[in-house]
Chain A
Amino acid sequence: MRKAVIIGAGMTPVGEHWKLGLRDMAVEALLNAMEDAGVDKVDSLYVGNMLSGSFVEQENLGALIADWAGLGNIPAVKVEAACASGGAAVQEGVKAVLSGLEDTVAVVGVEKMMDAWPSDATRYLGYAADADWELFHGASFVALNALVMRYYMKTYGYTEEDLAYFAVNAHANGAKNPYAMFKRPIKVETVLKSPYVADPIKLFDASPICDGAASVIITTPEKAKELGVPKEKWVEVAGMGRAIDTINLANREDLLSLKAAKVAAERAYKMAGVEANDIDFFEVHDAFTIMAALSLEALGVAKKGEGAKLAREGQIAIDADYPIQTMGGLKSRGHPVGATGVYQTVEAVLQLRGEAPNQVPDAEVGLTQNIGGTGSNITVNVLRRV
């Protein structure tokens, strides 16, 4: 079977980019990645994006971005899987390379969210929930995650403070990432004193609305050699998995199990021939602190009900056993929804090349996990140093 390696990575800083449009950010990240790889053309483009139609009234992103990046008459499409669009786009790119249909592909994840009023942004994000049975009743994404968080706290006896450690860890790491939106460490009290958005989720339990774009270039080892890309830059996409769960949270068999993440992780582990124990760092989808806890459990890092314990006991820091959110995660780096999965990939690539500003010592295998909806559409990728 063919192999797929990432040979280039690029991104824009995450933040409020009032002077940049969606196309500006996407093209900047894409050209950065192509320059990093040393390629000036690709066979196709996959764009991870969730809500460009709603946020900036622009669809057909494949044509827009390939056109403006000067990529010629290549095939180019948008890939949508809610907040997991970026992770899914990376997977579509890898699939194209593995299938043999295409040799060198570009993936870009982009989201421009700041142009909308906050309540409209809340509404658009709700489109990834069940429109008829959730959004119809006034549910926001924060509210749906809050229902899970309260149930988790009740079931396992955790407090709001226990979950706050995830935010503290993310900010501590993000403080060292020049591309992060929030580059300030915070304390547990900062989280606890922040206002409720949807109780028990507070402002500092949640990731921000923001703008950003990230990009990777994927090819085969043979082609990478032919292109003259030095081997130190190669990062293999060794395993990947994707799965769905009920779109409507109320229909979930177990509110506290990210079944889609569990299934996706099993597929990714199997394909890569690794176990959770072999992974040196995890970029999990901490759109809300509760999702970081549930993700660690679904990925097999923590036992069911013990995800929050890992954070409280300090086991998720860069120099601990299970480093997560090494570049700040969604919480501190920022969560430009459709771009997030590609940011995670870029960050994992930097870690595996040994180029991260917050380096995990001797990192050889990393995992990215990207959640769409309230756990309804999840991608897991395992990346390995070549």
Chain B
Amino acid sequence: MARPMQVSRYWRHFREKYRLIGGRCENGHVHFPKRPVCPVCGSKNIEEVELSGRGKVISWTIVRNPPSGFEYYKPFPLALVELEEGPVVLAQLTDVDPEEIDFGMEVEVVTRKLREFEEDGIILYGYKFRPPVK
């Protein structure tokens, strides 16, 4: 496994990775992650918007043969979550029994460890989604 020399590349995204910062163009189109050009209308007038982190599972899988670096959690559920503001986000599901996952299941965002690079390497954190704690 290649050691991650590109620490700055990961850290560049740290706000988005923790707080789901998306973009909203002048015409109200919301997207995630934030882009320089609105994918719907082409506007370059984009403001940051913090998304609520609440959404529904629209599809999911159980990753049984993960890429190297993610063996620790295997098998783990990975899902497409449609946020209440509209954008779809790919993330792991956590704190859930795989048997319970279903279409339309409500989830909320949490911050979790995603990956470790060996004993003295950096640790990557980011968002995952879980069924809401009531």
Contacts and interface: CB of A to CB of B under 8 A. Distances in A.
Interface of A: 117-120, 122-123, 126, 132-140, 142-144, 146-148, 150-151, 154, 195-201, 246, 248-252, 255
Given A123-B68, A138-B92, A151 B58 contact: yes
B18 interface: no
Contacts of A135: 67
Nearest to A145: B61
Contacts of A137: 78, 90-92, 114, 126
A154 B63 CA distance: 19
A53 to B, nearest CB: 11
Contact of A140 (B17, B65, B114): B65
Interface residues of B, number: 38
Contacts of B103: 154
Contacts of B63: 138-140, 143, 198
Interface string B7-31: 0011001000100000000000001
Interface in B28-79: 31, 33, 39, 58-71, 73, 76, 78-79
B39 to A, nearest CB: 7
Contact of A122 (B10, B66, B73): B66
Chain A CB within 10 Å — which of B65, B70, B80 has the most? B65
Contacts of B70: 138
Contacts of A249: 80, 90
A138 B93 CA distance: 11
Contacts of B9: 132
Contacts of A122: 65-68
Contact of A138 (B1, B31, B78): B78
B114 A147 contact: no
A100 B92 CA distance: 51
Contacts of A138: 63, 66-67, 69-70, 73, 76, 78, 92, 114-115
A82 to B, nearest CB: 15
Contacts of A119: 65-68, 71
Chain B CB within 10 Å — which of A135, A199, A252 has the most? A199
A147 B59 contact: yes
A266 B50 CA distance: 39
A120 B71 CA distance: 11
B124 interface: yes
Contact of B62 (A126, A136, A198): A198
A250 B68 contact: no
Interface of B: 1, 9-10, 13, 17, 31, 33, 39, 58-71, 73, 76, 78-80, 87-92, 103, 114-115, 124, 126
A143 B88 contact: no
Given A134-B90, A251-B31, A147 B60 contact: yes
Contact of B1 (A123, A151, A197, A250): A123
Nearest to A125: B67
Contacts of B89: 250
A147 B79 CA distance: 7
A142 B59 CA distance: 14
Given A144-B90, A251-B87, 4 more contacts: A122-B66, A123-B1, A198-B61, A199-B64
A272 B63 CA distance: 42
Nearest to A248: B90
Chain B CB within 10 Å — which of A118, A137, A146, A151 has the most? A137
A252 B31 CA distance: 11
B62 A196 contact: yes
A133 to B, nearest CB: 6
Contacts of A118: 65
A126 B121 CA distance: 21
A151 B59 contact: yes
Contacts of A146: 61
B62 A139 contact: no
B66 A140 contact: yes
Contact of A147 (B17, B61, B65): B61
